[in-house]
Structure 1
Amino acid sequence: MAWNKYVTVEVPLFLCMFSIMIQTNVSTNFLIYRTCYVLLDYDQSECALLGKVENETTASLEKKVQPTFNYINMVSSVMHYLIPLVFCMYVGTWSDKFGRKPFLLLCIIGLTLTNMTAMIMVFFENASPWLFVIRFIPLLTTGSSVTLMIVTSAYLTDISTPDTIVIRMAVYEITLGLATFLGNLISSYLLYATNYKTVYILVTLLAGFAFVYTFFFIPESIKGEKEPPKLKNLLKYINLKDIGKKTFKKRPNNGRGYLLAILGITVFQTFSMGEISVQTLYLRAKLNWTLTKITTTSSVTSVGNILCSMGGTYVLYKVLKIKEFKLVLFSILALSASSILRGLATKDKDYLIYIASAIGTFNGIPGIMIRTIISYLVPREEIGKIFALQNIIYNINTILSDLSFQALYNATLETNSGIFYYVSAAINCLAAVGTLLLLNVKIPVYPEAAKESEEPEKEFKKISINRNNFEALSIDEKRNSNDIALSISTITE
């Protein structure tokens, strides 16, 4: 089959991400609905209007139901980031050794079982919303959607040549963006045109078809003999002690202190992202937005985030030659302004949400630039370990920030439910202060990277790179290559 040479993991990637985005949006509405009449004993017909109708009854009911739902959401947040932590960190190394396909199939099986469990539970109309939290266990124990993206991007790298890598990576980005956009866009329309049962049957079939396609039509990309992926073989590739040593070891020109300062900025900046965990609840309770309005806005915003992060990086960094920390500072201040505008929004001024979304479209730039700066500080063979620690920090930080913002939202729901946005803005401002201080300090470039940056300029052909291999390029290559495509993750669960 000739087409199979050109269309490979893009098919299961699209089907899985499309499935995830549909059920993520619908599940929030479903759990609020079940919490309303199963746990809190409100009238089921009135509960069914939540997220669908804008009136005084639903506005009042949202504020009564959301605190209880938020406790369920807290538990779900901890599970989402804690359980898959180790798997996500090491699946790249494991798949290098044992092959891509086993881990790709494993992740799709986890998603299929998760969707199937939810589908079954929907048919029991009085089942507690707490039972729906455990449906994620199959997906989370196989690494969640992060594993899916790691393995599929590695697979495409394996099968690409220098002549085809640009096209493949472009198609990869389009696939992710299209799945996110369409999943956000149609989820509410699909729900209100059918029902919850139909939606969960559909997402289960999508994941099931992704498994069938992968099993029968996608060959293994790692050639040669491979060890079977047994548990004892997986565990021997985990070395957290080595990761810690590489991060905290002494470096030339006070590189260790500089690196730790950057990681500190990352902690503040990512902690502010806890606002995302209660954003949908805020829009429903304070502005009385329907699910359709929320998902439509989210779908447009997700596309804007990708385009602005990619385009902004190219124009600001490569064309205008703006330094890394200046871009980080610009992006963080923009995010602060975006949070403040969201906090000021009211029913009569909900246009502020659209303005805030436009201002915050450069939210992918801080992560890209910080990872770039780190690549200047350490030798190439240590970059993977530093980024592994960054992943650990991010996941733990996300758990703490989600719990903190959800608790704050519950405590202020009846007074000023948007106060968490001001807290987020303040935290981003602290990150901005740290960034401003480092602006006046010369980056202690690792000698190897400094040597590379002093080489004569070369003429580079078009290249396509993602976050993982972007850090491996020299400073000169990063600023002077003619074309660049960056891999930006927009999936939240």
Structure 2
Amino acid sequence: MFGYGLLYVIYAFLSVVPDLNPIYFLVASIPVALSGGLITIISGIYAYISDTTTVEKRAFRMGLLDASLFGGLVVGAYLSAPLFFIAGQYGYLTVFATSATFYLLGYLCVIFIPESVHVSHVGSSSRGLCSLFDKQLVIRMITTCCKRREHYGRAIIFLVIIAVSTCVITMEGDSAVSFLYTRDKFGWDIRTFTQFGSLSTLISVFGTVAGMYIFSVWLRIPDSMFASCVFLTKCGQTLICGLAPKDWYLYVGCAVGILGGVSGSLCRSIISKTVPLEDIGTVFALTSVVEALTPIAASPLYTFVYNATLLTFSGAFYILSSAINFLDVILLSCVVVLQRASPVHPYSRIQVPE
């Protein structure tokens, strides 16, 4: 959080320097890169939730986390433009300073949160700043995730990680070319597309909170079964969007995929109930690394598909997303089978004091 705060502080200073070479803005990325960036934040938050919540409430709490992230995106999207125009010639300075303020406030909140785990030995001879570049920590992460586990734990972990990474591919890929699709097929401009994106995000926030409470907390449907059904609804959503003859079909697709936002939370909840508490942070770290790498392939893949099918079937990339989501349905169905083939997992019965 402090690294991102420094990022926007530097952005704010650089934004008022006239005729500045854009290469200097790369300097602002150094604090984020050294502190771990978004991977560290997300992994840490999910691990903390796993450490401090009961098994019954864990998926719902993770869903609230995703809902807060989606909600923050909507609020930020609506506030950035007014802030920019109200500030006039200091528009960039105002936007970057506001972002820096919120990140630094978040940092102050984080430092007062009590630690859930006290680590006395991390399996490395390096200490301090040198431990950031210790390859033994990377080796430890890989060996922890790959070691043999009872009750098909290793197979479940990698099935879920694959499902999470392919889910990121569809989200990043769709976002890369969906505006081009709506512009070419329905004549949308950027304002119409932004309004649609904000509405779909709000629908996702509502679906995440309500879906987690109804299906996970109230009905107590197992996470793996719930996740497979969610990916099935995402298949329907992308099919409707890809085959849409009119633009209002896109809103129907959003309604069909209203529960799509819970997929990431459910997958992480499955992982947290498959490994012991001391391994959760390590497995989440590998999951986040895979999530961070998959967008590198997603945008070029979807751009290639869209360009190749633009004149014949411009919605083909949505059909690709539907096929990938169906693959995730198969992966989560395999998880359901593996869990039913084994006795009740001991980690799913752990009660963590709140």
TM-score range, shorter chain: 0.7 to 0.9
1:286 alignment partner, SS class: helix
Residue equivalent to 2:217 = 318
Which residue does the alignment assign to 1:32? none
1:203 aligns with one of 95, 104, 107: 95
Q: Which residue of 1 aligns with 2:237?
A: 338
In structure 2, the residue matched to 1:281 is 180
Residues of 1 paired with 2:144 and 2:98: CA distance?
Answer: 42
Instruction: Structure 2 unaligned segments of length 5 or more: list them.
Output: 51-61, 115-126
Matched, 1:240 2:138: yes
Q: In structure 1, what residue type is equivalent to 2:99?
A: A
Structure 1 residues 445 and 109 mapped into 2: Cα distance closer, same or farther (>3 Å)?
farther
Work out whether 1:409 is the aligned partner of 2:306. yes
The aligned amino acid for 1:292 is R
Displacement of 1:359: 1.9
Give, in whole Å, the separation in 1 of the partners of 2:25 and 2:310. 23
Offset of residue 143 of structure 1: 4.4
Indicate how the Cα distance of structure 1 residues 112 and 269 shifts in structure 2: closer, same or farther if over 3 A, else same: same
Check conservation: 1:114, 1:137, Cα contact below 8 A.
no
Letter in 1 for 2:163: I
Residue 74 of structure 2 corresponds to which residue in structure 1?
181
Asked if 1:364 corresponds to 2:261, the answer is yes
Residues 336 and 189 of structure 1: CA distance in aligned 2, closer, same or farther (over 3 Å):
farther
Q: Percent identity?
A: 22
What pairs up with 1:26-37 in 2 under 5 angstroms?
A: none
Q: Which whole-Å deviations, capped at 9, do the CAs of 1:14-38 have from their partners, x for residues lacking one?
A: xxxxxxxxxxxxxxxxxxxxxxxxx
Larger displacement relative to structure 2 (333-342 or 132-141) = 132-141
Give yes or no for contact 1:340–1:421 (8 Å, CA) kept in 2. yes
RMSD (Å) for aligned C-alpha atoms? 4.4
Ranked by relative contact order (alpha carbons within 8 Å, sequence separation 6 or more), the top structure is: 2
How far apart, in 1, do the equivalents of 2:64 and 2:168 lie? 29
Q: Find the counterpart in structure 2 of residue 258 from structure 1.
A: 156
The answer to whether structure 1 residue 425 and structure 2 residue 322 are counterparts is yes
2:221 matched to 1:221? no
Query: Are the aligned partners of 1:115 and 1:200 in contact in 2 as well (CA < 8 Å)?
Result: yes
Q: 1:156 to 1:327 in 2, by over 3 A?
A: closer
Larger Cα-atom Rg: 1
TM-score, with length taken from structure 1:
0.55
Task: Provide the TM-score with structure 2 as the length reference.
Answer: 0.74
The alpha carbon displacement at 1:194 in A equals: 7.2
The aligned length equals 333
Report the alpha carbon displacement of residue 236 of structure 1 after superposing the two structures with TM. Answer: 4.6
Change (3 A) 1:235 1:280: same
Tell me, yes or no, if the aligned pair for 2:240 and 2:249 is still in contact at 8 Å: yes
Give the Å deviation of 1:134: 5.2
Equivalent residue number for residue 308 of structure 1: 207
Distance 1:432 1:397, change over 3 A: same
Residues 420-457 of structure 1 show CA distances to partners (whole Å, capped at 9, x for unaligned) of 1111101111221233344334164676326x3xxxxx
Task: Decide whether aligned partners of structure 1 residues 133 and 262 sit closer, same or farther in structure 2, where only a CA change above 3 A counts.
Answer: same
**2:189 aligned to 248, 270, 290, which one?**
290
Which of 265, 270, 281 matches 2:168?
Answer: 270
Check conservation: 2:66, 2:265, Cα contact below 8 A: no
For residue 416 of structure 1, give the secondary structure of its aligned residue in structure 2: coil
**Distance change in 2, residues 1:132/1:340 (3 Å):** farther
Note the C-alpha offset of 1:175: 6.8
Check the 8 A contact 1:252/1:444 in 2, yes or no.
no
CA distance in 2, matches of 1:328, 1:383: 19
Higher normalized helix content (fraction of residues): 2
Q: Contact 1:114–1:139 (CA<8 Å) still a contact in 2?
A: no
Which stretches in structure 1 are left out of the alignment for 5+ residues?
A: 1-103, 158-168, 224-228, 453-472, 485-493
| Aligned amino acid, residue 239 of structure 1 | L
